[in-house]
Amino acid sequence: MTTTLITNIGSLVTNDPALGEGPLGLVRNAALVLEDEKVSWVGPATAAPAADQAVDAAGRAVIPGFVDSHSHLVFAGDRTAEFNARMSGQPYKAGGIRTTVAATRAASDAELSANVAKYMWEALRQGTTTFETKSGYGLTVEDEARALRIASEHTDEVTYLGAHIVSPDYADDPAAYVKLVTGEMLDACAPYARWVDVFCEKGAFDGDQARAILKAGMAKGLQARVHANQLTYGPGVQLAVELDAASADHCTHLTNADIDALAQGNTVATLLPGAEFSTRAEWPDARRLLDVGVTVALSTDCNPGSSFTSSMPFCIALAVRDMLMTPDEALWSATAGGAAALRRTDVGHLNVGARADLTILDAPSHVHLAYRPGVPMIAEVWRKGVRAV
Ligand SMILES: [Zn+2]
């Protein structure tokens, strides 16, 4: 057993209101003790107990590790040309996914695994200590199962997204593809996944198809999450609440009924501002959700097509600038909100018993994540009680 004291913390975000100011449970002049993988003590630096080793935070801020609850990292290839064309005036369409499907199918296991490792390391260096990732660029039984097996070698938060788009191989018979996704493909994929997801959108899957796909996954023991209401209004958000999905992701186009459903249910609204940024789309209305008490998570949606960023600090800055979230709300949504979207209670906060996942910022306050956008702010990242960056 090893204990580590992190002391002289100028401003500590605990996300436990019982420990400090406001919803972030902010403690000034704080200290933390890590014991093996967990936090064993939190309080004022002047009262900190002795430990085997000590780290001097030198007045800087400490925050919980980011929980990125939505990414698509099992892919190969590149869509620079598509991004360049879009930024030159062409609209984003769901079909661009097919380009990545072809490249992913052609890639070796080693290439795909190296890609996942590369982007997870990139994210870790930016303070992300919990990472969800998905399949969805294979779209055959073998390629989807392979993607999930590879993802499961890198993270516990693995999502089966065979229903990303209708496979190009089934373009003339979408019903047969839904049958595959809910049958043979699900059987091959379920052992590697915790979650089942569907892109419920015009050009992808409609409400009835999405319900069938999610229910089939749930019958196999997977929990639901939904790509909902990204490009257009649609049934995705209300379906997510109806099925008690952990999260409805995107939530860019919401009716009053969608907002009411989220406010009354247990489904987190996960906002992905990197996607709006990278497609020049209109921003989700975070204020409308927050003001009626919906739990909001922020995530990167890291994928090669519509949001090729692994940076939670960048998403925080966008959320504050363009989605009118306060810096405190954005920080909470990127940590505790992400944990809620993954139904995790061990991460996203820093109180006694929490997993010792934290970041020391090169700044006196978490507000600097939005105040100084694009500036490297991550000084140290600790994961499971061990310094990782
Ligand atoms: Zn996505």
7, 31 in Cβ contact below 8 A?
yes
Has residue 94 got a pLDDT over 60? no
Has residue 169 got a pLDDT over 80? yes
In which residue are the tokens 């975000």 written?
13
Q: pLDDT grade, residue 1 (50/70/90)?
A: confident
What is the span of the domain harbouring residue 363?
3-65+348-387
Tell me the CA–centroid distance for residue 25 and ligand 1, in Å: 31
Q: pLDDT grade, residue 95 (50/70/90)?
A: low
Tell me the CA–centroid distance for residue 172 and ligand 1, in Å: 25
Are 366 and 315 contained in the same domain?
no
**Could you give phi then psi for residue 239, rounded to 5 degrees?**
-65, -45
Has residue 315 got a pLDDT over 90? yes
343, 130 in Cβ contact below 8 A?
no
Mean pLDDT, rounded, of the chain = 96
Tell me the CA–centroid distance for residue 301 and ligand 1, in Å: 5
- The pLDDT of residue 14: 98
Tell me the CA–centroid distance for residue 171 and ligand 1, in Å: 21
306 is annotated as contributing to ligand binding:
yes
Are 254 and 380 contained in the same domain?
no
CB crowding 160-173: b at 16 or more within 10 Å, else e: bbbbbbbbeebeee
- The pLDDT of residue 196: 98
User: What is the CATH number for 164?
Assistant: 3.20.20.140
d(CA 108, CA 147): 11
Are 164 and 307 contained in the same domain?
yes
- The pLDDT of residue 118: 98
**Could you give phi then psi for residue 284, rounded to 5 degrees?**
-65, 150
**Could you give phi then psi for residue 64, rounded to 5 degrees?**
-65, 150
The CA distances from residue 25 to 14, 63, 65, 172, 350, in Å, are: 5, 11, 15, 54, 9
Tell me the CA–centroid distance for residue 136 and ligand 1, in Å: 9
Q: pLDDT grade, residue 93 (50/70/90)?
A: low
Has residue 20 got a pLDDT over 60? yes
Going by C-alpha positions, the residue among 253, 293, 258, 291 that lies closest to residue 271 is 253
Has residue 91 got a pLDDT over 80? no
**26: β partners:** 21
250 is annotated as contributing to ligand binding:
no
Going by C-alpha positions, the residue among 92, 94, 116 that lies closest to residue 104 is 116
Are 297 and 364 contained in the same domain?
no
Lowest-pLDDT range, 92-106, 174-188, 281-295, 367-381?
A: 92-106
305 is annotated as contributing to ligand binding:
yes
Residues contacting 93, CB < 8 A, separation 6+: 203
**160: β partners:** 196
Going by C-alpha positions, the residue among 377, 225, 380 that lies closest to residue 312 is 377
Are 48 and 112 contained in the same domain?
no
Tell me the CA–centroid distance for residue 98 and ligand 1, in Å: 14
Q: Three-state SS for 379?
A: strand
- pLDDT tens figures, 220-248: 999 999 999 999 999 999 999 999 999 99
Are 167 and 208 contained in the same domain?
yes
- pLDDT tens figures, 323-373: 999 999 999 999 999 999 999 999 999 999 999 999 999 999 999 999 999
Cα 379 to the center of its chain, rounded Å = 22
Q: What is the percentage of the chain residues whose pLDDT exceeds 70?
A: 99
Q: What is the mean pLDDT of residues 154-167?
A: 97
Tell me the CA–centroid distance for residue 70 and ligand 1, in Å: 6
59: phi > 0 → left, psi -120 to 50 → alpha, else beta; which?
left
Are 352 and 333 contained in the same domain?
no
Are 123 and 159 contained in the same domain?
yes
- The pLDDT of residue 96: 80
> CB neighbours (10 Å) of residue 58?
12
Are 196 and 99 contained in the same domain?
yes
Are 337 and 352 contained in the same domain?
no
Are 309 and 374 contained in the same domain?
no
Q: What is the mean pLDDT of residues 50-73?
A: 98
Q: What is the percentage of the chain residues whose pLDDT exceeds 90?
A: 95
Tell me the CA–centroid distance for residue 68 and ligand 1, in Å: 12
Please report the DSSP string for 84-120 in residue order. Answer: HHHTTTPPP-GGGHHHHHHHHHHS-HHHHHHHHHHHH
In which residue are the tokens 């919401």 written?
254
Q: pLDDT grade, residue 267 (50/70/90)?
A: very high
**Could you give phi then psi for residue 133, rounded to 5 degrees?**
-150, 165
233 is annotated as contributing to ligand binding:
no
Using a cut of 0.75, tell me whether the model's pTM lies above it.
yes
Are 355 and 330 contained in the same domain?
no
Q: pLDDT grade, residue 97 (50/70/90)?
A: confident
349, 15 in Cβ contact below 8 A?
yes
115 is annotated as contributing to ligand binding:
no
**298: β partners:** 271
- The pLDDT of residue 328: 98
- The pLDDT of residue 184: 98
Quickly count helices (H) and strands (E) in the chain.
Answer: 15, 17
User: What is the CATH number for 364?
Assistant: 2.30.40.10
Q: What is the DSSP letter of 337?
A: I
Give the distance between the most distant pair of CA atoms in the chain: 69
- Number of structural domains the chain divides into: 2
280 is annotated as contributing to ligand binding:
no
**Could you give phi then psi for residue 176, rounded to 5 degrees?**
-65, -35
176, 150 in Cβ contact below 8 A?
no
